[in-house]
Structure formats: C-alpha cells, structure tokens
Chain A
Amino acid sequence: MTNHRNRYPARRKFLKQSAALSAGAATLAAPAVVLGQRPAAIKVGVLHPVTGALAVSGVPCREGALMAIEDINAAGGIKSMGGARLEAVLGDAQSQPQVGASEVEKMNEAGVAAIVGAYASSICLATTQAAARHGIAHIVDVGVADQIVERGLKNTFRFGPGYRTVTQVAMHNLHVLNTLAGKPAKTAMIVHEESLFGTGTANLLAKELPTYGFEVKEIVKHANPTRDFNNIVLRIKAVNPDIVIPANYYNEYALLVRTMRQQKVAPMAIYSVLGGAASNYRFVKEFPDAANGIIDVNHWFNPRDKRVPALRKRVESKGGFFVYEFFMNYTAMWLLADALERAKSAKREDIIAALESSTFANHIMPYGPTKFVNGQNQGARPLMTQVLRSDIKVIVPQEFREADPVFPWKA
C-alpha cells in the first residue's frame, strides 16, 4: 500500500510556505511603498468533511482545492488585482450538516470572499444556506442533489452536473451503446444505496429506462454500510439481468463487484451511474480483475486537455489518486479565480455578480464555456468511461473518446 503520510507534510509545508511568503512579501513591500503596496491576500473558505464517515472523500476534495490555490498563486495570483494571492481558510464539516453550517459562520467572521465545498449533498444544503445569509458566494464542488440549486439562492453556484443530468446522459448513452451493438441488452437490475444519492438516482433510472426499451426487472436497495453482498448477488443470479446498474459508494461498490466475481455472476455489462468505485483509479489498481470492463457515467475530466497528465502525475507522486473529488475541487477553485479576475474586487457581491456572468472556459473539465442559470452550470455533463486493460478510458461521447467500448463484455 502506498505511504500516505507524505501527503500531509506537503500541505502543512504549503501553508507554512504561504505564510512565510506573505510575511516575506510584507517585509519586502514595506520599504517598497514607493513602488506600490502588495495587495492583501484574498481569503477563500475550503470546507469539506475531512473527518467522520465521509472523510475518505472529503480529504481529496480539500487537497484538490489546495493544489489549485497553490497553482493559482504560482501563476501570479489574481493579476487584475495586482497579483493578489489566494489564502485558504480550512473548515471541517465533520460529516454533519450542522457542523458545516457552523464552519460557514466562522469563515464569515474570518472574512472569506467565497467558499468552495462541501462535497455531500446534505451538507451542501446547509452550508449554501448559511453562506446565503451573509451573501457569500458558495461554489458547490460535487453535491449532486438537484435541490441544491433549486431553492432560489443567489449565492449558490454548481459547476458540475446534478444527478438528473447525469442520469439522463447515462440513459441516453446506454441506449446509444446498446443500439450500436445490435441491441443485445433488454433487461436491467438496479442496486443502489439507501440514502439521498442512491435513491434519487434509482428513481430516475427506473423512470427513464423503460422509455428506451429496457425492462427493469428488479431494484435492490441496501444500507450503508452493507457488510455482505451475497444475498444481493444471489438475487442477481436468480434474476439474470443483461445489465446490472449499481449506484453506491466506494466500499459497497467494491464489495458488490468482488462478490459478483466470486460467485461467477457476469452480466453483459456492469453499468454504473455515479458509481462509487467504477471510475476510480484506486479501485482499478487494487482489483484489476474485478474492475475490468466496468462502465461508469460519472464526473470526469477532459481527456484531451494537455494539462491533465502532469496534474495526475503530481497527485500520484504524493501518494494520492486522481479521483473526481480532487479534480472537481481543483476546477471549482479555478472557476473562482477566473471570477475574481473579472470582478477585479474581493467584495462578496462583486464575486457573485462575476460568477453569475461567468464564461470560464479555460478548465480541464469537458463542459465548454461556463454559463450559470439559477446557479447551475448549463454545460456540465458526465462522461462515460470503461475500465480497459487496467486503465480508465472515455468511451462516449465521440468527441472525447479514447477507446472503443466493449459491449457486451466477455469475461
């Protein structure tokens, strides 16, 4: 197992470095009053659940945001504001909505200009509301529940897609894939986790699949955590669907897929929608046999963007994996930087206005130019990937295709 210890020293060093830099900059600037003062750092709230049940996702979220800040500052900061640097104000939502909301209050008092976070939908609901109270722009990094952007809050901006979009794209893509292969698949079975994300996704899938000609033979709901998937796999065996559609978190996803392999259950495709481990480099590395062939429709970066390989390498050299938690936050921070550039001000209302009219296109996601309507980025979309030869490749849509899909999958 890779040593994860060296992840933290890099970050602590970063914070100490930035403190030293700003201190150094301050002393340099003091006698340089003739040349013009160094602008004050712009404080940005970085709020994620880095302890508790969601820590496994919250930590890479935070790291993505921090690496972006590091890169933005290294590239000269916010040039339209005299090279002002971004300064992170860290918050831990402790995997609970009320703690997240409390951290927002603290960030407000610390004078943050904007907040990026808070990963989980239930936490985002609370944090965006709390931020709205103080007119602080809140960029939602992941939080896929559609309610987040449907409450009419002016300060909430979600750069990535919500689960309605993801599910619709997933259905459409499945239809495309199936049609191209001669329509071999007719039946499906959904296995989902029982909370907001899984239930919402499953409901949408159950509604959409029949319209594309698929029969949903069974929907199985399971708890978080589930200690054993044998029963569910037995059911899959008995129902014998052409496609199994899982929508759950990493641990359960991994257990399900391992158990399927153990019980020699091999459908035409394991087709995930926002699959917990399906497009996760860590999972592919640890279970190459079980992971091979799995298709996922999930948050993914633009595979044609030249900056990605270097970024991915930096993350992996620190012992991490280039997971969606990381690059969603990385991009969200750059979105904010772009808004600051255009706003030419760190005032909260200016930032909100700048985000509202944002056309940010210079990012690593496959969204094209940004356009927010009611806080939702219209261009946001997931990509369809498949695990092929122990690597994750984009298969749909055509414009980002890296490899031809293998459907149905032959074990």
Chain B
Amino acid sequence: MLELSILWPSIANGLATGAIYALVALGLTLIYGVLHIINFAHGAALMVALYGVQLLFTRFGVDPYAAIVVLVPAMFGFGYVLQRFVIARASHGKDENILLVTLGIAIVLENLALVLFTADTRTIETRWSLATIDIAGAFIAVPKAVAFVGALAAAAILLALMARTDLGRAIRALARQRHGAKLVGIDVEHVFAMSFGIGLACLGAAACFLLPAYYVNPTVGNGFVLVAFTIVVLGGMGSFAGALVGGLLIGVVESVSGLYLGESLGQIGIFVIFLLVLMFRPTGLFGSKA
C-alpha cells in the first residue's frame, strides 16, 4: 500500500524531525567520544534547556531563535560546572560510577523541574508556529524547516571547532590518548569540562529549535534519550558528521516505517536498524575507533 503521494512528505518530515534528533545527538556524541561516558542526564539537560527557552519567551518575550544567544552559553556554563565539580568529583573517574552520578543528576533535575514548574505541559505559540512551507508537495512546519538548517549549521560549526581551534585539537588529542595528552601539558580536567559544556551547549541550540514545534514538561527528555543513543552509535561515537547523518537517517526510518507498519510498531524500525549497524558495522557509519 505504497501511497506515493504521502511517501515524499513522510520522508521530508522525517528529515526535519531527524534534524532535531541530530542536534540532540551531536552533544551526546561529543561527550561520549571524549569522556567515554554514557550521559544518562542528557535528556534531563535537554529538558532544562527547553524550560529556559520557554521562560525567556513567556517572561521576557524573547523569540526562541534569538534565545540561542543566551541559551548556548548558559548551557555551556552549566555543563562545565556539572562535569568539573560534580561528575568528576563524585565518580573518581570510574565508568560505572559516572553512570550512577549522571543518573542521580537526571533524577534531581527532573524532580527539581517538577517542584518548580509542576508537571503541567507548557508550550509557546509564536506567529509562525503553525505556518508551513511547501517543499515539492510536502508541507513542512516552519519551525522544523528552520531546525533542519540549524542542525546543518551546528554540525558545521562543531566540525570547524574541532579542526581549527586549539581547544578542538586538545579535545581530539584527549579523546585519542588520555595519558599522552596529559604528558604534553593539556589540562585534562579543564578540557573534559569544556567538552561536556559544549555537549550541553548543543542541547541549548536544540531546545531553541525544538520548542516551537513541541512542548516541555519535567519528563520530556526521556522521549529523546533512547533515540539519541541510537543515533550516536549508528553514526559512530565521537563523530559529528555521523551524528548528523545518523539523525537524519533515523528520522527518515522512523517516519517511513511508521507509514508502513503503523506508528506504534514502526518504532521498531529504529531499533532493528540500530542492531544491524552494531552487528555489521560496529564502529558506526563514520566511526573511526575499532
């Protein structure tokens, strides 16, 4: 039952949704690639950023896209402090402890939001929230089309950051050779914290693009964590290009399998792809580490 008339819109929409996933995954892949930690608090951090965008809009009338200027540095700072003074201190560097610490942080953040904002879902309505643009017959919501461009831009910026700046070089060195990096005088703690900060800064951008098309409540992050992990592995842990391509791919897979198998069963497409990639190309599409 291939309705061609809705196959293209489905793909186009999948790409747009995938762009948001990619933005979320970009931060996660950096954090995993450098610090080798599975950040259980990633979803909660996204939630924090979303509340940030929502508050800026409702209290100060700041347009969500303008809010990027505020949110990206704010989330960066939050991430830096979190890694340097909480995660690093508490986990003593052991992987399994990091898991628990990020889990504890996630629980604290989620319930702090519950206490401060209650469980009510909050949305924002801007002039162009309901507008769509016509792309060859597919009506894509404007916020999503903007998110698509934003994701490309973010990936490009991150790649440039990694390749051109001293910080980027330090991060890459640290990711590859932790002990060697220390020996050449890289301040490991600082660079780790910077990486974590950049990872969360990506979420700040993601939130600005996501909220106009979605909503926020204390548990909103949970719906993205699994998909984000899938994309990170699919794209290759530590690869930005991988996160971008992986995100777009997963968005399309989700959309098209939803079309063929129904929305509920269609979710299975994501995980089957995930397992297949893991089995036959474990380093991911763009992964470099064996």
Residue positions of A touching B, CB distance < 8 A? 1, 4, 7, 51-53, 55-56, 58-59, 194, 220-223, 225-228, 230-232, 234-235, 237-238, 250-251, 254-255, 258-259, 261-264, 282, 286-287
Contact = CB atoms under 8 A, between A and B. Distances in A.
The 10 closest A-B pairs by CB, nearest first: A55-B119, A56-B119, A222-B263, A221-B264, A230-B13, A225-B223, A234-B6, A231-B258, A4-B118, A194-B264
Interface in B242-276: 255, 258-259, 262-265, 267
Contacts of B262: 220-221
A234 B130 contact: no
A265 to B, nearest CB: 10
A223 B214 CA distance: 16
18 contacts: A1-B58, A4-B118, A56-B118, A56-B121, A220-B263, A223-B267, A226-B263, A228-B17, A230-B255, A234-B13, A234-B259, A235-B6, A254-B123, A261-B130, A263-B132, A263-B139, A286-B123, A287-B123
Given A1-B58, A221-B264, A222-B263, A237 B6 contact: yes
A225 B58 CA distance: 25
Interface in B122-145: 122-123, 125, 130-132, 139, 141
Nearest to B224: A227
Contacts of B123: 254, 286-287
Interface centre among B3, B120, B215, B255 (most CB of A within 10 A): B120
Contacts of B215: 251, 254-255
Contact of A282 (B17, B120, B219, B223): B120
Contact of B118 (A59, A223, A237): A59
Contact of A221 (B13, B255, B263): B263
A235 B131 CA distance: 20
Interface in B3-18: 3, 5-6, 9-10, 13, 17
A226 B123 CA distance: 16
Given A222-B264, A231-B13, A234-B9, A251 B121 contact: yes
B6 A223 contact: no
Given A59-B118, A231-B259, 20 more contacts: A4-B117, A51-B114, A53-B219, A55-B119, A56-B120, A227-B223, A227-B224, A228-B255, A231-B13, A232-B258, A234-B13, A235-B259, A238-B5, A250-B121, A254-B215, A255-B215, A259-B141, A262-B131, A262-B139, A263-B132
B195 interface: no
A21 to B, nearest CB: 27
Contacts of A287: 123, 125
B218 interface: yes
Contacts of A264: 139
B239 interface: no
A59 B120 CA distance: 9
Given A56-B119, A254-B121, A262-B132, A232 B263 contact: yes
A45 B249 CA distance: 50
B217 interface: yes
B97 interface: no
Given A222-B264, A255-B215, A55 B130 contact: no
A51 B118 CA distance: 9
Nearest to A235: B6
A234 B137 CA distance: 12
A145 B72 CA distance: 46
